[in-house]
Amino acid sequence: MSEVTVKQLASTVGIPVERLLTQLKEAGISASGADATLTEQEKIQLLGYLRRSHGKDEGAADGAPDQVTIKRKSVSELRVPTAAPRTNPPGSRPAPTPRGGGKTVSVEVRRKRTYVKRADEPATGTTPAPRRQSNDRSRAGRERAAATSAVIDESRRRAALEAMRAEQEARRLAEQEEQERIARAEEVRAEEERRQAAEARRRAEEDARLQAEREAAERQVSKASDTSDVAEAVTDTDVPETPARRTESAKPKKAVKKAAESVEKEKERPVKKVVRKEAAPVRVRDVAAAGRGDYEDVEGAGGGRGPRRRKKSSKPQLQDKHVFQRPTSPVTREVEIPENITVADLANRMSVKASVVIKELFKQGMMVTINQSLDRDTAILVVEEMGHRALVADERDAEGTLLDEMEEQEGQFESLSRPPVVTIMGHVDHGKTSLLDYIRRTRVASGEAGGITQHIGAYHVETDKGTVSFLDTPGHAAFSAMRARGAKVTDIVILVVAADDGVMPQTAEAIQHARAAGVPLIVAINKVDKPEANPDKVMQELTQYEVLTEEWGGDTMMVKVSAKAGTGIDELLDAILLQAEVLELKAPVSGPARGAIVESSLDKGRGPVATVLVQSGTLRRGDIIVSGGEYGRVRAMFDEAGAPVESAGPSIPVQVLGLSGTPNAGDDVITVSDERRAREVAEFRAARSRQSRFDEQRGVSLDQLFTQLKDGEQKAVNLILKADVQGSLEALRESLLKLTNDEVKVAIVASGVGGLTESDANLAVTSNAILLGFNVRADAAARRVVEEKGLDLRYYSIIYELIDEVKQAISGLLSPIVTEEIIGLAEVRDVFRSSKFGAVAGCMVVEGVIKRNNPIRVLRNNVVVYEGALESLRRFKDDVPEVKHGTECGIGVKNYNDVQPGDQIEVFERTERARVL
């Protein structure tokens, strides 16, 4: 190589000149600057230094490559003849193609050969002398040229070989293709022959079947005629039938001979003898009919005559007369009316047709059906209107009898003091659960979703001052029903109010629940340890709700507490026990247990689990209980910590296993002597609840029938709701049903406690419903159906999010609010005729602005005569998008040519705004 400068070498290598100068200096090569020249020897010396500095072998410092790779590519063309159109026998070569025919195939051969340095060559890192280097270079050049020539020869030889092989392969493929084409043609021909043969065979079979059917029909016709002749001949013969004769007639030959003789006789017989057939049916009647009483044998079996129909007397007998006489005066009946009765049952009790009762109800303005249920008051009115006496039926059914027996048994046992049941109420995030946590020495609040309580918790605490049972209720507005249930079973209400927040809406609602239940109230002002706490402000706000503390001369106890620091907890317990002593709470300890359902849920491993607060008696393991529409035997009981217990006395909450289902929160719990009676009471309650739901749905649909027909079909949002506990489920149902309005209806197709199952998913498919899971999840089968059908499945753990999303979905179904705004008014001064636009109004814009793309109204004497759109808007000869106030313009009204001078053209805009709940 020729000498190069430092700058050129740096540009070739792709590094800065300064860096290359530094490397040259480190390699011991003197270079004054970027314009200094470098010899071949200096470049090799630099390369060796760089290899040594990067850990390479010094033997490779001479810069000679270890191997040389040579690549060659050759392209040639190969002409492949096409197959001849005529058919050649298999194995023969195709006929030659005319000159100029065939296909041209390009054959490209790529070769690569690598030469590696021999191992016996010296690999020293020393630099040879210039003369030796020159000789070595020339010898290496000669060797490289020889190697290159050999490689080129080898490549040409291989290219020729590959071309020959490609030509042979192309010729072989052409022959194979021709053979395959011939074979396919043979298969098509054979298939066509088989199809034609099958078609001919099918036609032959069809012809043979038709011929056989015709012959069979002809044989049946001839046989029928022969049989009729034979029957007639036998009928004309009066010889009695004997078993021997029946046996002979069954023989085929004799029957045929006899039939032939009968035919001959029939030909010779006069025509008038045919009328004797009338006697035949009487003689060949089945004798068994006489045994049923339909016929009687008048002349006896030996008379030769068959049974004959008994003749009835033409005169009516005395006992056949109708002796009922219509009453001359109306009949007054006493009709027992239960709580609910259907129209059909009411008609039966009055001995009238159901249509009469329906007609009477129509007169009173009620459209009913025969199966519709009527309440007691309506039934009494109908009975009295129809002239009968209505009596109230005795309602002592299985449930009433059981309750009466329970009251009698409770009076037989001595009542003893019981612990108080305390309900903690208050607003969201005012520290109710944290206060209870400090008393129980647990951390329940840390496990709650969003830091709030989603369902009622029942606990009993053993303190130094006595036992106290606590009910922790949620503070969110949606759980008002749950708080109401908590106030019904409680003895004392603790109202928790944050000292830094004051009285809130749910605080006022808790005060109302406590007053409705008639229980005393204790105010616990929480978070008094905060710097911004102001207890006096809270007390002042409570006076607005007629809650006056003892410090201010009232009768309500007030305690300042801190759930975090534990301040005032002992004073709060003292106040609770003092209030309990004043109330003198007592209940019988012995005898059958009676209580209430605080909460219920469905556990996957344990089944229905109900939290029962015992109010009287003692509940033991093995007792048979009935709660609402569910019943069962108590298989196991656990306290709030999960420890098993054998019994629970008054005011003690326990978890019960063994019910047939999840009862509703708030249902009563009664101990029954035997399982048969428990099942009877539970089924009666379930039927009554089912009937009430049915009546409610039917009444609503009938009342809204004409409204829906008039206003169109009402939009509906179908929901399938599953929750972890019954209390949360009821609260969610009430909150969602309140979202129904005149345009959109929220319909809860199904609801229940437990996870989402496959049946829920299939129900969502049929009813086009949305699946909502509150603290529950769908199982594998339900998830598979959801994925296959593309259902909308959503999980929630906080009630705010669920209600808000359903509210947004309903808002999307509401029709938008459409408003109109007049933006311009033009007065027509003159009308011109145009061949293109028809009548064109020359106008003056008197108000606002006239826009081309907006809708318009044509006013005549301030009365709208046309509403449409503009076809053209021009200013002189130019089309303009808008014309402002005080400007003349030409307006063409689309599809309207009756514009007159003096009319006004009004331009307006419509705006739509989404409605929200």
878 CB-contact burial (10 Å; exposed 0-12 / middle 13-18 / buried 19+): exposed
Q: Are strands 653-659 and 668-672 parallel, antiparallel or unpaired?
A: unpaired
Q: 3-class SS at 78?
A: strand
What's the CA gap between 740 and 734, in Å, rounded? Answer: 11
> Looking at 345, 429, 500, 668, which residue is catalytic?
429
Reply yes or no on whether 433 is catalytic.
yes
Catalytic-role residue among 62, 388, 423, 433: 433
SS3 627: strand
Q: Which helix (H) or strand (E) holds 192?
A: helix 130-236
Q: What is the DSSP string of 509-568?
A: HHHHHHHHHT--EEEEEE-TTSTT--HHHHHHHHGGGT--BGGGT-SBEEEE-BTTTTBT
Q: How far apart are CA 656 and CA 698, in angstroms?
A: 36
CB neighbour list of residue 849: distance below 8 Å, 6 or more residues apart: 823, 824, 882, 883, 884, 885, 907
Asked about 530 being catalytic, the answer comes back as no
Residues flagged as binding site: 426-433, 472-476, 526-529
The count of other CB atoms within 10 Å of the CB of residue 576 is 24
Annotated binding site for GTP: 426-433, 472-476, 526-529
Q: Is 416 helix (H, G, I), strand (E, B) or coil?
A: strand
Contact 500, 532 (CB under 8 A): yes
| Residue 405 buriedness (CB in 10 A; 0-12 / 13-18 / 19+) | middle
What DSSP letter does each residue of 356-400 carry, written as one string? Answer: HHHHHHHHTT----TT-EEEHHHHHHHHHHTT-EEEEPP---HHH
Half-sphere exposure of residue 774: CA atoms within 13 angstroms, side-chain side = 27
The catalytic residue among 388, 455, 460, 476 is 476
- Burial zone of 702 (CB within 10 Å; 0-12 exposed, 13-18 middle, 19+ buried): middle
Burial class (CB in 10 A: 0-12, 13-18, 19+), 530: middle
DSSP labels for 483-507?
A: HHHHHHS-SEEEEEEETTT---HHH
Residue 721 near residue 734 (C-beta atoms within 8 A): no
- CA–CA gap between residue 48 and residue 64 (Å, rounded): 11
User: Burial level of 605, CB count in 10 A (0-12/13-18/19+)?
Assistant: exposed
Q: Is 676 helix (H, G, I), strand (E, B) or coil?
A: helix
User: Which has the closest alpha carbon to 657: 735, 695, 600?
Assistant: 600
3-state class (DSSP) for residue 649 = coil
Distance in angstroms (rounded) separating the CA atoms of residues 438 and 444: 10
Q: Which of 62, 342, 432, 549 is catalytic?
A: 432
Question: Cβ distance 274 to 288 under 8 Å?
Answer: no
Q: Where are the alpha helices (DSSP H) in 386-490?
A: 398-410, 432-440, 480-488
In this structure, how many other beta carbons lie within 10 angstroms of the beta carbon of residue 512?
A: 14
- In 90-204, which ranges are E strands? 103-116
Strand order in the sheet with 466-472: 457-463, 466-472, 421-426, 492-498, 521-526, 557-560
Give the CA radius of gyration of the chain.
Answer: 54
Report the amino acid identity of residue 506: Q
End-to-end CA distance of the chain: 88
Q: How far is CA 176 from the centre of its chain?
A: 60
Known catalytic residues? Answer: 429, 432-433, 476
